[in-house]
């Protein structure tokens, strides 16, 4: 991978990225940029290459073609889709959370509180539920004071209300830590309200842009169908409403349940 002159201040810049794994085309000519403090949401059907794209961004997978730029020395907080902790490893919540940073017990406690995880510090991680473990991963990532948070389907397994709360949390974390957020949405037509940029992926980038414009894009409509696309639009109607009402981007749980 060679490095080209990146867009000014870009944290991550992908240019014409293609990825082939065992002869199968996973990604094709993907170009996208993540700017500081920007929230980017990746959507797309199963097998569209969303997780692979995240891995290319993070340097976990080498691209077959194209250039990847990552800001040198950038601190990344990563929350993978799933993680298996072997039973043979005794790990408490506190040890796991503080493993990637030099945080004090108090800082760890604060961080757990911040992500809404209320379990004892000495509880073993193997006994956490899927959702709790996800929050623990998030706390671990935040303790590194990241410039960019990369979340792979963080809201999976949450109900509508839970998902809305989670998105609200992410938006507030962005405000507090001034970090960019890149996340894969598990839901095709439900995108977090505070998203600045939606990238709709299906091996190639179908379309990208502000959430409002995406829902009107012909390629998006073709990919997800008119019916689903409407839900997306409905959701963003609500989002616009809130945006103008109080001048801030607020994610209201009520909006999701009838979306």
Partner 1 sequence: MDEFLWRALLAGLLVAMMAGPLGAFIIWRRMAYFGDALSHSALLGIVLGIALGINITLAVIMVCFLLALILVLLKFKSGLQEDALLGILAHGSLALGLVAWGLFDGVRLDLFAYLFGDILSVVWSEVLLVFVLTCLVLIILYRIWQPLLQITVDESLATVEGVAVKGTLLIYVLLIAALVAVAIKLVGVLLTTALMIVPAATARGLSRTPVQMVVIASLIGMVSVVAGLGLSLYLDVATGPAMVLVTVILFLLTLSFGLHLLKS
Residues that bind partner 1 (CB under 8 A): 55, 58-60, 76, 78, 80, 83, 85-92, 95-96, 99-100, 122, 124, 144, 150
Q: How far is CA 186 from CA 45, 154, 163, 204, 229, in A?
A: 9, 8, 10, 18, 15
Least Cβ distance, residue 128 to partner 1 (angstroms): 14
DSSP 173: H
Least Cβ distance, residue 81 to partner 1 (angstroms): 10
Q: Is 45 or 85 the residue whose CB approaches partner 1 more closely? A: 85
Non-local CB neighbours of 100 within 8 Å, separated by 6+ positions: 140, 141, 143, 144
| Alpha carbon distance 233, 227 (integer Å) | 10
Q: Is 78 or 166 the residue whose CB approaches partner 1 more closely? A: 78
Q: Is 91 or 233 the residue whose CB approaches partner 1 more closely? A: 91
* Phi, psi dihedral angles at 200 (to 5 degrees): -100, 115
The answer to whether 10 and 180 are in contact (CB under 8 A) is no
Q: Is 69 or 78 the residue whose CB approaches partner 1 more closely? A: 78
Least Cβ distance, residue 78 to partner 1 (angstroms): 4
Q: Is 152 or 255 the residue whose CB approaches partner 1 more closely? A: 152
Least Cβ distance, residue 170 to partner 1 (angstroms): 18
Least Cβ distance, residue 150 to partner 1 (angstroms): 8
Non-local CB neighbours of 231 within 8 Å, separated by 6+ positions: 189, 190, 259
Q: Is 95 or 250 the residue whose CB approaches partner 1 more closely? A: 95
N-term to C-term CA, the chain: 43
Q: Where are the alpha helices (DSSP H) in the chain?
A: 50-58, 93-98, 105-114, 130-143, 160-177, 211-214, 218-246, 253-257
Least Cβ distance, residue 172 to partner 1 (angstroms): 23
At 65 the three-state DSSP class reads strand
């Amino acid at each position: 991978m060679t490095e080209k002159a990146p867009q000014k201040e870009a944290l991550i810049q992908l240019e014409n990225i293609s990825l082939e794994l065992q002869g199968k085309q996973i990604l094709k000519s993907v170009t996208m940029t993540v700017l500081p403090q920007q929230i980017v949401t990746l959507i797309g059907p199963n097998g569209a290459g969303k997780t692979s794209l995240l891995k290319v961004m993070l340097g976990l997978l080498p691209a077959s073609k194209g250039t990847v730029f990552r800001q040198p020395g950038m601190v990344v907080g990563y929350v993978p889709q799933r993680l298996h902790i072997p039973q043979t490893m005794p790990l408490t919540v506190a040890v796991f959370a503080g493993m990637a940073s030099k945080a004090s017990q108090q800082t760890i406690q604060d961080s757990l509180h911040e992500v809404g995880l209320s379990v004892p510090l000495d509880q073993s991680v193997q006994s956490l539920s899927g959702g709790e473990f996800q929050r623990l991963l998030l706390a671990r990532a935040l303790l590194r004071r990241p410039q960019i948070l990369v979340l792979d389907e963080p809201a999976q397994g949450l109900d509508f209300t839970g998902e809305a709360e989670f998105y609200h949390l992410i938006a507030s974390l962005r405000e507090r830590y001034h970090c960019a957020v890149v996340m894969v949405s598990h839901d095709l037509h439900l995108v977090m309200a505070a998203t600045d940029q939606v990238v709709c992926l299906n091996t190639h980038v179908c379309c990208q842009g502000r959430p409002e414009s995406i829902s009107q894009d012909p390629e998006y409509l073709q990919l997800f169908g008119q019916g689903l696309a409407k839900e997306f639009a409905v959701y963003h109607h609500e989002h616009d409403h809130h945006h103008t009402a109080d001048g801030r981007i607020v994610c209201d749980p009520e909006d999701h349940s009838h979306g």
